[in-house]
Amino acid sequence: MLWPRWSRTALARNEPSPLMPREITAFSNPLIKRIRSLRDKRHRRDEGLFLAEGLRILTEAREEGVVPRFLFFTHDSADHALVRPLIRETEERGGEAIETSADILSKLSGKDNPGSVVGVYEELPTALDRIDRSAAPLWLVAERLRDPGNLGTILRTADAVGAGGLILIGECVDPFSVEAVRASMGAIFTVPIARAEWGDFLSWLRGGEGMLVGLSLNTDTDYRTPDYPAPTFLLTGNEAQGMPDSYAEACDILVKIPMAGKADSLNAAIATAVMAYTVQDRQRAG
* Residue 208 belongs to domain with CATH number: 3.40.1280.10
Same domain, 141 and 273: yes
Written as one string, the DSSP assignment of 156-212 is HHHHHHT-S-EEEESSPPPTTSHHHHHHHTTGGGTS-EEEE-HHHHHHHHTTS--EE
CATH at 60: 3.30.1330.30
Q: At what angle do helices 268-285 and 148-161 cross, to 10 degrees?
A: 10
Mean pLDDT of the chain: 89
Domains identified in the chain, total number: 2
Q: Can you tell me whether residue 286 is helix, strand or coil?
A: coil
Q: Are both 153 and 211 inside the same structural domain?
A: yes
pLDDT score recorded for residue 240 = 87
Closest among 1, 2, 21 to 10, alpha carbons compared: 21
Task: Tell me, yes or no, whether 207 lies in a domain.
Answer: yes
The domain boundary, picked from 122, 143, 164, lies at 122
Continuous H helices in 68-125: 83-92, 102-109
Assess if residue 2 is contained within a domain.
Answer: no
3, part of any domain:
no
Segment 189-239, tens digit of pLDDT? 999 999 999 999 999 999 999 999 999 999 999 999 999 999 999 999 999
What dihedral do alpha carbons 134, 162, 138, 126 form, nearest 10°? -60
**Residues contacting 282, CB < 8 A, separation 6+:** 226, 227, 228
- Together in a domain, 134 and 96: no
Q: What is the largest CA-CA distance in the chain?
A: 68
Which of 100-109, 112-121, 125-134, 217-226 has the largest mean confidence? 217-226
Q: What mean pLDDT comes out for the span 53-65?
A: 93
Name the CA dihedral angle for 80, 82, 85, 88, rounded to a multiple of 10 degrees. -50
| Averaged pLDDT, 107-124 | 84
Count the helix, strand and coil residues of the chain and give each as a percent rounded to the nearest 5: 40, 20, 40
pLDDT of residue 237: 94
Domain membership of residue 44 (yes or no) is yes
Domain finish residue from 82, 101, 122: 122
**Phi-psi bin for 131: left (phi > 0), alpha (psi -120 to 50), beta?**
beta
Query: Directed axis angle between helix 83-92 and helix 55-63, to 10°?
Result: 50
Domain check: are 254 and 281 in the same one? Answer: yes
| Residue 286: per-residue pLDDT | 73
For range 77-106, the mean pLDDT: 92
* Domain span holding position 111: 8-122
- Residues of the chain above pLDDT 70, percent: 91
Strand partners, 159: none
